[in-house]
Structure 1
Amino acid sequence: MKKISRNDPCPCNSGRKYKHCCQQFEETSTTLTVATRLVNRRAKGLPDPSIPEYFQTAIGYHQAGNLPWAEAIYRQILQAAPDHPGALHFLGLIARQMGKNEIAIELIGKALAFKPDYAEAHSNLGNALKDQGRLEEAVASYRKALSLAPGFAEVYANLGNALKGQGKLDEAIASYRKALTLKPDFAEIHCLLGNALNEQGTPDEAIASYRSALTHKTDFAEAYCNLGNVLNTQGRLNEAIISFSKALQLKPHFAEAHSNLGNALREQGKLDESIASYRNALSHRPDYAEACSNLGNALREQGKLDEAITSYQRALQIRESPEIKSGFAQCIKNIYFTHEIPDIRFLVARAISEPWERPADLANPAISLVKLHPGIKECITRATSAWPAELSQHELLGPPGAFAFASICDDVLLHRLLENTTVCDMELERFLTMARNALLDEAISEKKCPVAEERILAFYCALARQCFINEYIFDCSGKESTCAQLLRERVAAALAAGSRVPVLWLVAVAAYFPLIALPFIESLLDQSWPDAVAGLLVQQAREPLEERQYRDLIPRLTPITDETSRLVQKQYEENPYPRWVKSAPGDRAISIDAYLRERLPFSQFKPMNPVDKIGNKKNETLDILIAGCGTGQHSIATAQRYQNAKVLAVDLSLTSLCYAKRKTREAGLGNIEYAQADIMALGSTERRFDIIESVGVLHHLADPIAGWRQLLSLLRPGGFMRLGFYSEYARQNETAAQNFVIGHGYRPVPEDIRRCRQDLMSMENAARFKQILSARDFYGMSECRDLLFHVQEHRYTLPQLKKSLKELNLVFVGFSLDPGVINQYAVRFPADQSHTDLDSWHLFETANPDTFTGMYQFWVQRHG
């Protein structure tokens, strides 16, 4: 064992030499005797050893990595001198090294009780607190250490790490910069600074920091890897690949670099090479969940869906991080399964119910898997074969013990689908329509108090929740409607009399009418119910009651006097759009500049965030206006997306706003303000905004460009707008269906919307309107009314939008599109490196008319 000298680094990790750090504890004169050592020394005629000698010996063992011996000697010291701060501190360090952070915190805390000015102990206490996620306390410890010893560069770096963990990027960057003033050649801190700058949305500064790190440490593989990541996000793929390759030359087993190289190769469309890189990463680190996830993405793009799913399953077995869950959901998003994959149903059920992505985006994979189940498939076949004739429960499902009946009652994926999003499939809708009728028959049978098994009840409750979500869009014959009305009157009479309502009556009524419409419905909320029924009551009574409470609390920001605005308001008061249950989990909030660079890496927009004299971003509030927020999905996603966001969300419909406010409270957000307002009157307000978003709204105004001008008057110089307009090319199928609606005289009322849908789904018309029948919005009442019965709709071409941008003096920043579409465009028009030439995009759209089926969604910037 090498004995520690005065000029060696101190083992307390302070970064200082031993003589300037913990050697001070050798000055104590208290003596310690340990039996075996005493016997040996006395036999040789040597004097008793002192605590400083033992402490020096323990530190030597500690530095050599012999923790058991070092710990034993520290403890011997404490037997003789319980108040020895050095031994307590170093015992705490050993505890932390062994992963025992609670013990470490306790021991270092005792050291500080005896020596409050022990800077190194404050620093290491901060490290232990940070390991436990107690970042606020860690920051306090680091600051105390620096107040005692301002020259600790490493402590400034650790403070920066803790502040970064808190999301305080400006303060973290300042701390890293302070560390570098003390140690300008400290490569690791340059790298940490680069990471923080990249998170802050200043990739060019991050690149400069990584290059500084490599100047001081040319074999710094991690810095090459981080540099490659930033270059990759900037679209500088060749440079990124070179950087990752250098990292791998230095560290051939560097799994992260292999995986990140795979990401860059995948961006270049080199899927075989990217898959090889991901497999290399996993060969060096089999438990690398992110590499499994990335491999899944690449395999999916190759069309190897089974292998992709297997890779994601492996990733989720290793670690269920939000990123991996989201990656799996993105992998299966809108995919239609043609065969079963082991364990996939369980994952999709979780993804749709927790949720890992917007449930609506997972409806297609869920529906396809549901329809693959042999028992459910049997029931759907019976329903579609008999349609429009009605089948009894026994005819549709078979006897209670039959395979098909059990499949329907026990399939978790089917139930989660019904409870969380609209079922957008004609065949499954027809089965559910018949199942609802069978439920009604059971409920109104001659039995006085019909009951159902718990598993059957669970299915019927899920069906009733689906009917509420789609706003009772299922076909309903006159006879069925009469029976449902009769049952509702029975339930209302029971409620008025204070009698117990049979469970099956309640569930059946909920499948035809919202329970909130029943008198005295509040009386049921405090009663004991089976779990499935309790969930149904929350959906159809408790939550709507909460929404009613908000009606008088939401301010009216402007009058609504425009004639078209009043017609649109009436539509959305009757049918708030869209009705949704759960939203995708929010990502970590980032700056607007970082968000745009991530989504539009080739765009040449001007960063909006202000910068102070030393280059730090100012932590200022980002004022955002959502003009036409609907039921709150848009406003909630925006409020979660951006750092320091303060959102004003306005809409014509008070019903929609109440829904949005309830969902916002449910999400626990406090940075959204809701108000009723007309875009055509917003120019009179004095508030100004950094970002204005209005997607799918302006094209419903009488004069969309006039509304756009109103919004533009509220945008600060240098601010951004995110807009969405219908495309004339992409909207051709909807236009044909709208002409069908007009030609047959259907009115925008529930009865006619139901009748119109059945006519469109008929054998005579189904082939003609195939695209409409595959549209998600066709399967909900509010959505279908918005899709086919809207009171006002304008459609645009890109030349028209280009002309408007010129008139409004706005800079086009880029489209929000799937990366695959962007790549196709880049191949066709390589000269347009920023992807912002609207003339080229017009040519691309005319060749690919379905490009903008989700509207022209794009960003523009006002001149600063």
Structure 2
Amino acid sequence: MKFANSKNARGIEALQGGNIPLAIQLFQEAINESPRQPALHANLAKALKRGGLIDQAAARLTFTLAFDPGSNDASLLSIWLAGGANPNIMDLHPRGLLSAINRKDIDRHPIINLSANYMKNNLPTSRAFQLGRKEDWESAAQWILSASGKAALGNKLFLNCLKAEPICDFEFENLLLKVRRALLLTPPKHLLKKNPLQDFIFSFITQCKLNEYIYGVSKEEEKMLRKLRPNIHDPWVFCILALYHPINSLIVPDEKIKKLFPKPLAQLIRKIIAENKVELELAKTFKILNRADNKTSISVKAFYEETPYPRWSSVNLIANLRRSTLQYLMPGKNLSFMDQSFSVLIAGCGTGQQLVEAAAGYGEKSDILAIDLSCNSLAYAARMAAFFGFRKIEFATGDILGLDSLSKQFDFLECVGVLHHLEKPFVGWKKLLDRLQDGGYMRIGLYSKRARKRFNETKIALLPKTAGGSLTEFRQARYALVSSAEASYKNTLFNSPDFFTLSNARDLLSHISENPVTLESIADFIAKGNLEFVGFETSPVVAHTFDREEGNNNRKSLENWTAFEERHPEAFATMYLFWCRKLS
């Protein structure tokens, strides 16, 4: 231990002095002496990151989390993965992945994606995927439900991934689709006796809830489901139906749930019903700022009332992130006004993931008003904000185009992923600008026309199969795409995490109004609106490439960013996300 501590101290000294190779060497030697000390792994990860070895750094953080599940480095791992880190699957510690998945104060999606890749390449779960690829997914499903697949079915990482977030992976969908079918058409003998199958079933029900029952259903399955429906009070039948239908649509008297159903299933049912009840009550409490009277706004409102987007359950909670972001983008800028009370408008907060992240990021001095067209989305946002402890946020329904009804001006304003759904995005942006104080800051997210070009070509080709109709028809249309779409379409669609949950896929493929913009049009609006461009929030990979090609001192030049995007049209594949400031 003394040897390890000495090496660690010397490693810290080397890191502070800029001798990265020596720091890496010393931290590794300390770990060899004392491999279970989380701080040593954390220090090595930071040294590797400083040395440009981001993939190895991310892998090392899984060791930190394996030995210290509560470490703040869980957030760092999520951020690094989201920013492009791609660690070697064989370098990961599965217990560290499990620790991160059990957190809700980080964005777990990148961890789930990494864990899915890990499970596809490591025993005991890898056998199912080998069978699926070599033979077919029905064989894989039969194996995992057999005695031979018992270890895979009960694997903790697998079960926790199912319960945590939607697994956005095509091979996992193929496997789970066939497992669900097998459970319906050829149920195992032991049904709901306490065994790995029971734990799996309950976890699988949660996964279906999380992805909003997006899987398609065959005619044979539909026939069997109709046959089973009258026996809904039977716990096994209820479980099977709950893999196909939302639990709140399966009516069973509470006394029967208490008497007949296993305790974990009863708890899951009550939890889902209680959450729905809370949202219904919250929806009655919101202040109405204005009512949508624009045709597009009315249609968009109806769209999100039917499928609030996204249905999230975890978020990066990083204290004062907004202030540190601005300080990074504007070194030396005086932001001391944030030490006193200040106002924030989140326009188009949706289901609240950005809102909750912002509430943590602005800190306790912020006074936040969150508005959205959709009452159902806002109810989800309010429930989740309360869950994460942010109870002072004010919520109101309203249309951005009707913000003239709001006389107040704000110190900060955020509108991310909203304006491009307006018929005229810059008209909406002007409405927001009028609600910003002189000297105030605005965080804007807009779809890039260049980045969306290839995807929209795919979308246009597929849209007739997914547009309009009921949610059931949408699920079946998506199922047909999975089964028969051309390879080029599959590559585009299956790489998008939005393809794997109902509300996200509907937003992706069938949104009724989408108007991406260009950097040239953004630059023109900023110039005419008396705004100062502060800078982009981009991934480290994009920032590094830009600096190499255009120069670090040109990060505030939209002309340089335009030239950069012409060469790298995927640079803003998610959207343009940037800050600007209203000049006096």
TM-score over 0.5 (shorter chain): yes
In 1, Cα distance between equivalents of 2:492 and 2:578: 24
Matched, 1:377 2:118: no
**Residues 4-60 of structure 1: CA deviation (Å, up to 9, x unaligned):** xxxxxxxxxxxxxxxxxxxxxxxxxxxxxxxxxxxxxxxxxxxxxxxxxxxxxxxxx
Aligned to 2:361: 641
Q: Is contact 1:258–1:281 with CA below 8 Å preserved after alignment?
A: no
**Residues 745-785 of structure 1: CA deviation (Å, up to 9, x unaligned):** 74353334333333433465123430221110011110011
Q: Is contact 2:214–2:500 with CA below 8 Å preserved after alignment?
A: yes
Matched, 1:723 2:444: yes
CA displacement at 1:565 relative to structure 2: 0.7
Output aligned runs, 1:309-320, within 5 Å: 311-312=60-61, 315-316=64-65
- Pick from 408, 418, 436 the counterpart of residue 687 of structure 1: 408
- Pick from 9, 19, 22 the counterpart of residue 276 of structure 1: 22
Unaligned runs of 5+ in 2: 1-7
In 2, Cα distance between equivalents of 1:392 and 1:339: 22
Output aligned runs, 1:380-529, within 5 Å: 380-383=129-132, 395-397=142-144, 399=146, 401-402=147-148, 404=149, 406-441=150-185, 450-491=191-232, 501-520=233-252, 522-523=254-255
In 1, Cα distance between equivalents of 2:172 and 2:388: 31
In 2, Cα distance between equivalents of 1:468 and 1:274: 46
Label 1:674 to 1:486 Cα distance change in 2 as closer, same or farther (>3 A): farther
CA displacement at 1:667 relative to structure 2: 0.9
Matched, 1:709 2:456: no
Q: Is contact 1:439–1:460 with CA below 8 Å preserved after alignment?
A: no
CA displacement at 1:430 relative to structure 2: 1.0
Q: Which moved more, 1:306-315 or 1:702-711?
A: 306-315
Aligned to 2:5: none
CA displacement at 1:806 relative to structure 2: 1.3
CA displacement at 1:391 relative to structure 2: 6.5
Output aligned runs, 1:106-121, within 5 Å: none
Q: Is contact 1:433–1:474 with CA below 8 Å preserved after alignment?
A: yes
- Pick from 316, 323, 327 the counterpart of residue 597 of structure 1: 327
CA displacement at 1:278 relative to structure 2: 4.7
CA displacement at 1:684 relative to structure 2: 1.4
SS at match of 1:731: helix
SS at match of 2:439: strand
Letter in 1 for 2:561: W
**Residues 309-355 of structure 1: CA deviation (Å, up to 9, x unaligned):** 6743554577566432323444555666664346x222112211224
Letter in 2 for 1:464: I
Matched, 1:777 2:498: yes
Letter in 1 for 2:127: E
In 2, Cα distance between equivalents of 1:531 and 1:335: 41
Matched, 1:258 2:8: no
Q: Is contact 1:338–1:368 with CA below 8 Å preserved after alignment?
A: no
CA displacement at 1:641 relative to structure 2: 1.1
Matched, 1:858 2:578: yes
CA displacement at 1:425 relative to structure 2: 1.3
**Residues 388-420 of structure 1: CA deviation (Å, up to 9, x unaligned):** 8x6796x34353x22x2x133211111111111
In 2, Cα distance between equivalents of 1:384 and 1:532: 34
Output aligned runs, 1:64-83, within 5 Å: none
SS at match of 2:318: coil
User: Greater Rg, structure 1 or structure 2?
Assistant: 1
Matched, 1:657 2:404: no
Letter in 2 for 1:258: A
In 1, Cα distance between equivalents of 2:354 and 2:55: 33
Letter in 2 for 1:758: Y
Q: Is contact 2:131–2:140 with CA below 8 Å preserved after alignment?
A: no
Aligned to 2:3: none
In 2, Cα distance between equivalents of 1:549 and 1:659: 11
SS at match of 1:582: coil
Aligned to 1:623: 343
Label 1:524 to 1:553 Cα distance change in 2 as closer, same or farther (>3 A): farther
Label 1:291 to 1:407 Cα distance change in 2 as closer, same or farther (>3 A): closer
Q: What's the C-alpha RMSD, in Å, of the aligned pairs? A: 3.2
Q: Is contact 1:254–1:284 with CA below 8 Å preserved after alignment?
A: no
- Pick from 57, 75, 85 the counterpart of residue 326 of structure 1: 75
Matched, 1:672 2:393: yes
Q: Is contact 2:49–2:57 with CA below 8 Å preserved after alignment?
A: yes
Output aligned runs, 1:104-253, within 5 Å: none
SS at match of 1:836: coil
Label 1:527 to 1:815 Cα distance change in 2 as closer, same or farther (>3 A): farther
In 2, Cα distance between equivalents of 1:555 and 1:398: 51
Letter in 2 for 1:439: L
- Pick from 259, 277, 281 the counterpart of residue 549 of structure 1: 281
Label 1:258 to 1:693 Cα distance change in 2 as closer, same or farther (>3 A): same
Q: Is contact 2:411–2:437 with CA below 8 Å preserved after alignment?
A: yes
In 1, Cα distance between equivalents of 2:81 and 2:560: 31
CA displacement at 1:662 relative to structure 2: 1.2
- Pick from 340, 346, 355 the counterpart of residue 90 of structure 2: 340
Q: Is contact 1:645–1:671 with CA below 8 Å preserved after alignment?
A: no
Aligned to 1:295: 44
SS at match of 2:241: helix
SS at match of 2:312: coil
CA displacement at 1:462 relative to structure 2: 1.1
Label 1:330 to 1:742 Cα distance change in 2 as closer, same or farther (>3 A): closer
Aligned to 1:213: none
In 2, Cα distance between equivalents of 1:687 and 1:488: 54
- Pick from 588, 592, 595 the counterpart of residue 319 of structure 2: 588
TM-score by length of 1: 0.61
Matched, 1:739 2:489: no
In 1, Cα distance between equivalents of 2:254 and 2:145: 37
CA displacement at 1:555 relative to structure 2: 2.1
Q: Is contact 1:622–1:690 with CA below 8 Å preserved after alignment?
A: yes
In 2, Cα distance between equivalents of 1:255 and 1:386: 51
CA displacement at 1:670 relative to structure 2: 1.8
Letter in 2 for 1:786: D
CA displacement at 1:387 relative to structure 2: 5.8
**Residues 504-548 of structure 1: CA deviation (Å, up to 9, x unaligned):** 222212111111123355556766854542453245322112212
Label 1:423 to 1:733 Cα distance change in 2 as closer, same or farther (>3 A): farther
CA displacement at 1:689 relative to structure 2: 1.0
Unaligned runs of 5+ in 1: 1-251, 263-272, 492-500, 611-616
Letter in 2 for 1:472: Y
Letter in 1 for 2:225: A
CA displacement at 1:842 relative to structure 2: 0.6
Aligned to 1:820: 541
**Residues 695-741 of structure 1: CA deviation (Å, up to 9, x unaligned):** 00001011111111111111111111100111111112320222112
Label 1:694 to 1:280 Cα distance change in 2 as closer, same or farther (>3 A): same
SS at match of 2:487: coil
In 2, Cα distance between equivalents of 1:635 and 1:465: 25
Aligned to 1:173: none
Aligned to 1:15: none
In 1, Cα distance between equivalents of 2:88 and 2:375: 43
Q: Is contact 2:308–2:351 with CA below 8 Å preserved after alignment?
A: yes
SS at match of 2:287: coil
Q: Is contact 1:683–1:711 with CA below 8 Å preserved after alignment?
A: no
Letter in 1 for 2:314: K
Label 1:844 to 1:512 Cα distance change in 2 as closer, same or farther (>3 A): same
TM-score by length of 2: 0.89
Aligned to 2:265: 533
